[in-house]
Structure 1
Amino acid sequence: MAGKIYIIGAGPGDPKNRTLRMLEAMKESDVVVAYTTYAELVKDLLDGKEVITARMKEELLRAKVAIKKALEGHTVAVISSGDPQVYGMASPTLEMMCANNINVDVEIIPGVTAALAAAAKLGSPLSMDFAVISLSDLLVPADEILYRVRKAAEGDFVIALYNPINKPLLIKAMEIISEYRKAETPVGIIKSAYRDNEEVIVTNLKEWNNFMDKINMITIMIVGNSKTYVCNGKMITPRGYTSRYDYVNAFNS
């Protein structure tokens, strides 16, 4: 009898940001499949379980192992940081099952994705429409990524950039955004959100590249839209209430 696969979002790193359902699924699982770094994030939940780890770029290996273990009757937890649907393990696992005509019970356990975790550290930059774009060109051509960046900038979306590890591609992306936004547009740079050595920086489109040494695989960048501003050190993207209400009068009434 086939088992079950939980594809789990472990959140940004701090155990306080795990969901109750994630903890329940981990408890029910007897096999855990994870990228080595993600296994470290949940190491306190691994006692008594078979733990299978893989390196970066071995996502398909992780998916294959999880499916085979489930077919053997195990309950398997496949770990993603953040949310498993957002550049995580949900898609490759489901795609591999579909391609091989395998139908195993699967439950996706949502988690706090990096854009939301990073935005919370900055204030409220994602209060209105926003776009999330990965700058990793391992699977998606750079030209396609830059096309998406341009369309998001044209649409005046707040833009959250994941995986800004390719510095030349990052620079090109920020140059495109700068064509549509003023130099003072707020930019948040968050390194290691909710993990050790966390750094939170609020800068702008003119000066963001002064912090290039803070940008790596575990950095999220959030670029404000035309209305985003900074007050009391926090990035704020207005929801539009001021078009109908006066905050001062509302507070003093």
Structure 2
Amino acid sequence: MPKKLFVVGVGPGSPLYVTDAAKEAVRKSKYVVGYRYTLATIEGAIDRSRQEVLEVTMKSQEDVYQGVYARMKDGEYCTVPFTGDVNFSESEVVDRLLEIFGDDNVQIIPGISSIQVAAAKSRVPTDKAFIVTFHVTGDIEQKKKDLVQAVKDGKSVILLPRPWPRDLSKHFMQSDIAKFLKANGIDTQKLKVWVFEHLTTDKETTFKGVVSDLEGKEFSDLSAMVIDQVKRQTYLEF
């Protein structure tokens, strides 16, 4: 039996949002490898007396993944947890893990995304919204154009911003988004917005206002933003 990998979404941050499927994968694994925040979310499912837990950073992740794969024996399992839903952001990391382990040896387990929680709290349903993540390492220029078009088309938007403090040309957080929309002809003084930080945790905060209010404001890397242009319709209208 070859080496096996679970790629697991573990929710926005509260252990209450970690699914049973995710917990089962963690408990089945000899190795658990992830970022500090994500590991903290699943700490209750980890048994450090029998599991090897390794923390990664953007710089160290390649060496750690390769090192774990080399140490694993046939038939052993490793779990790599991701904050939120593994299918929504950081696909470039998942693609690399698929290369290392091979598609047939990887099981992807979805999780609850902060996008879903933000939709619930703002009452902006996902089926009436343009949903986009800027929380990727690749080029986001087309996504930025799509964002402008969605707003001009009157759609609500639910998004994850991109923190990149080491290179401000790639930084695209709430203040940057507000300035970008204004520069592209959007009247940001009339556009309702929500910003949620640290969703589902005891640090959770909510900001509600208009998009122009975001200019100059700083928010956590762990935040979701909702541009609210929703028009409610009930089944009585059809």
TM-score by length of 1: 0.75
- 1:185 equivalenced with 2:207 (yes/no): no
Q: Matches of 2:190 and 2:224 in 1, distance apart?
A: 19
Q: Which residue of 2 aligns with 1:233?
A: none
Q: Matches of 2:59 and 2:181 in 1, distance apart?
A: 26
Equivalent position SS for 1:76? strand
- 1:197 equivalenced with 2:203 (yes/no): yes
Length, aligned pairs only: 227
Q: Which residue of 1 aligns with 2:150?
A: 152
Question: Is the Cα contact below 8 Å between 1:130 and 1:160 reproduced in 2?
Answer: yes
TM-score by length of 2: 0.80
Shift of 1:87: 0.9
Shift of 1:27: 1.7
Per-residue CA deviations over 1:167-203 (Å, capped at 9, x if unaligned) read 5642333326762x67333211101111232101221
Larger Rg: 1
Identity %: 17
Question: Is the Cα contact below 8 Å between 1:54 and 1:61 reproduced in 2?
Answer: no
Note the aligned Cα RMSD (angstroms): 2.9
Shift of 1:219: 1.3
Q: Which structure 2 segments of 5+ residues have no match?
A: 164-170
Q: Which one is further off, 131-140 or 187-196?
A: 131-140
Per-residue CA deviations over 1:196-230 (Å, capped at 9, x if unaligned) read 321012212343437x13x13111111012xx3xx
Q: Matches of 1:14 and 1:96 in 2, distance apart?
A: 25
Q: Which residue of 1 aligns with 2:93?
A: 92
Q: Which residue of 2 aligns with 1:170?
A: 177
Q: Matches of 2:210 and 2:127 in 1, distance apart?
A: 19
Q: Matches of 1:25 and 1:197 in 2, distance apart?
A: 27
Per-residue CA deviations over 1:30-51 (Å, capped at 9, x if unaligned) read 2101012211221222212111
Q: Mark the CA change 1:158 to 1:66 in structure 2 (over 3 Å): closer, same or farther.
A: farther
- 1:129 equivalenced with 2:128 (yes/no): yes
Equivalent position SS for 1:153? helix
Q: Matches of 1:244 and 1:77 in 2, distance apart?
A: 47
